[in-house]
Amino acid sequence: MNAKTNRRRFIKLTAMSGAGIYLSNGFTKVLAAAPTAGAVKMETFKGPVFIPNRAASWWTTLDDILWPERPVLDRIKKRADGFARAGIDTAINFGFHNRFDFSNYFGQLHGYYATVCEELHQRGIRFMDHFSCNHVTRPRNEADFRKVHQFERMAVQLFPDPIAARHAQYEGHFYQDLCEVDLRDGSRGYAKQYQYEAFCHNNPGFLDMHRKYLERLVKEVPFDGIEVDDMCSYPGNTTCGCKYCRDRFRRDYGHEIPNFSDRTFFGDTTQDDMLEWGNYDNPVYRDWLRMKSDSVRDHVRMIKEMVGDRPLMTCCSDTGPAVLNAVALDLEKMAPYLDLFMLENVGTNIRNVDWIPMDAEALNQKDIAAGRGGAPAIALSYAISEKGAYLGWSLGRFWGASNWSSTLNGRLPEDPEHALEMEDAISKPNNWEKQYSDLHYWEGHDLVEVRVVNNRLCRYNGWKDASGNEHWHRARAWSMQLVKHNVGYRFVRAEELADAEALSKEHTPLVLDGVGCVSDAQFAAIERYLSGGGLVWMALPFGTHDEKGFARKTSLSDRLMKGRHKNLVIVDSAVAAAPLEKLIAGGKFKPVLKQVKGDDRWAARIRIYDKVGPVIHFMNGGLKAEPDDVKDISGIPLMKDIVSLVKDHELVYEVDASRVKFSSLVLMSPELEGQKKEISIVAGKSGRDIVRLNMEGIAIYGVGQPGA
């Protein structure tokens, strides 16, 4: 695999009271009662026990394994004080990541975490554990060994040498017996982008070991929530050929996993990036990918059963592109067993100021969370400076999501001298928000004017148009155009697309751009929606394949167009044209918010809050990062500073007052500290109010909210 492949490419109520602890034979015993664990019913979602809002990474280092030595205890207290001063309400563990690498030290490690929980709980801060259960660090040569210690330093590196690794085990399960099996040569599955050996999600020994570890963790650490990371298969198309995967594929799908030499299945394996292997024209290959993500889903279900009512999340940097199939990363499949939904958002290099292409992923994950009974969504942003942390915080607020701030110095070959601790980097926007704009995002609802279909059936089957564009690329292109024109939108996913009643509950246009794979149930729902007067904007092709990826004899678009629905509008694809702009110019679509003056690189998003009413969030799409001397793992300079390219600060909008009525608003921003700038709202012609404001002094984010 390409060395630069990372997770971003392919594709986290009241706090518990402080827990008293004491030492017994060098291990901790937690006296506080733990939340209920055991079997849970999945059909009803009551919401998580708590909702993170201002979260930050609690970084651990190798020295922390020396708990309960006095310097370790002192550091815990000092950092807990810093988190409290920074307005952080949730600390998320980061450091002892590949958890089974530390099985010889679980007693000390759990003692450390129990003490962290005690100190944080005393300050009203919750603690979430965070680890990878299905990987152990096993560099296979000198180059990999040095790479681990150069670019993977964000995780504590205390893995055994090759001789000791042969005997590494926990609860009688030897790790080398639990690994995925490489289909090429029968060796242990290896994710060389991270230097990990991967445990198999179908291996009963691994599942038993993980279950026993979770039982112990629940007993010994009073954590408030948990992120079990990396719920996927990083070795990708090279695995797994173990007995258990072969048996499952035979049982569930009626197929045999072929030999690796079968190019009709594995495709062109001469490509450097194994994520690009695989022949989607082969239905057996498509089923194999489904089986792999089924296995991950079942593992997540087991984890939820073990942690009980403690909120569970996993990491998912992407949900849209088909490349995720290769690593079995499928948030929608895992969603029924998750309580929180986390998106890895922006990073530390200069490219990350270009945030608009990420809007689609953020809103798609918000819709997945909404489909789980309105579960909270969390945006994780990496930074080493105040400006970088503020950018991530701003995007979280623009998107209507929790913000998880995290430094990531360990991904760099060296520690930048100017890097800050996370609590210092995020303190200003957090405390500003608490004082001036403590809008509860979970009580807000985005104004939706357009619904964009993102049908995962297209992804599952590797569908592409004649130009090589995936359905997701087309949906994302709509997102970017909607952001540019300040049009509120949301995504419609596979299940809702098959529900005519759900489609008809809203009277906003439904965008079908390159929905190549369509099930019979989805087509019936769309036909019924159209027959009931629903509006569809459709860009061909549509319905060329069924839900299993088999080509249809007749495209479903032909059947739709023969129906002569007046409310079926054929448009150009957003990947090659500007259909939204054309619809607006032709008077076929009238946005609620229309900008009539000023730099249009300011993006505006209306969100209606239950207790506050309508609010406008502003995010600058005209940002430029000044490069640092330090570069990241891909050789791209870090962000030294962020500046705005916008020079015209006077913004004027027309607002359809029949759809959204603002009474009075003031413009505020952490960049203005406590200053409130008046927003002028006057009645205009044809029921459209005129909104005027001046963004001078604001470079990244502002909010127009009710205020005295």
- The answer to whether residues 548 and 604 belong to one domain is no
Q: What is the pLDDT of residue 410?
A: 63
Q: What is the pLDDT of residue 46?
A: 63
Question: Mapping DSSP to helix (H, G, I), strand (E, B) and coil, where does residue 187 land?
Answer: coil
- The answer to whether residues 476 and 602 belong to one domain is no
Could you tell me the residue range of the domain that residue 552 belongs to?
450-585
Is the residue at 373 inside a domain? no
- The answer to whether residues 531 and 547 belong to one domain is yes
- The answer to whether residues 533 and 626 belong to one domain is no
- The answer to whether residues 558 and 630 belong to one domain is no
Is the residue at 367 inside a domain? no
| pLDDT mean by block of 10 residues, the chain; 708 residues | 39 28 32 33 58 96 98 99 98 97 98 99 98 98 93 90 98 99 98 96 99 99 97 98 99 99 98 96 99 99 98 91 97 97 83 95 96 94 91 97 85 76 95 97 97 99 98 99 99 98 98 99 98 98 99 98 95 99 98 98 98 98 93 85 97 98 96 97 94 98 92
Buried b (16+ CB within 10 A) or exposed e, 578-600: ebbeebbeeeebebbbbbeebbb
Which of 522, 550, 585 is the last residue in one of the domains? 585
- The answer to whether residues 557 and 620 belong to one domain is no
- The answer to whether residues 243 and 332 belong to one domain is yes
Is the residue at 188 inside a domain? yes
Q: What is the pLDDT of residue 414?
A: 72
Domain count along the chain: 3
pTM to 2 decimal places: 0.93
Q: What is the pLDDT of residue 411?
A: 66
Give long-range contacts, CB 8 A cutoff, 24+ apart: 689-692: 689/654, 689/655, 689/657, 689/661, 689/662, 690/652, 690/653, 690/654, 690/655, 691/652, 691/653, 691/654, 691/655, 691/662, 691/665, 692/650, 692/651, 692/652
- The answer to whether residues 88 and 117 belong to one domain is yes
- The answer to whether residues 146 and 289 belong to one domain is yes
What is the pairing mode between strands 568-570 and 536-539? parallel
- The answer to whether residues 575 and 637 belong to one domain is no
Phi and psi at residue 534, to the nearest 5°: -65, 145
- The answer to whether residues 563 and 483 belong to one domain is yes
Q: What is the pLDDT of residue 142?
A: 96
Is the residue at 413 inside a domain? no
Q: What is the pLDDT of residue 346?
A: 66
- The answer to whether residues 481 and 616 belong to one domain is no
CATH of the domain at 284: 3.20.20
Which of 585, 605, 625 is the last residue in one of the domains? 585
Is the residue at 39 inside a domain? yes
Which of 585, 604, 636 is the last residue in one of the domains? 585
CATH of the domain at 697: 2.60.40
CATH of the domain at 543: 3.40.50.880
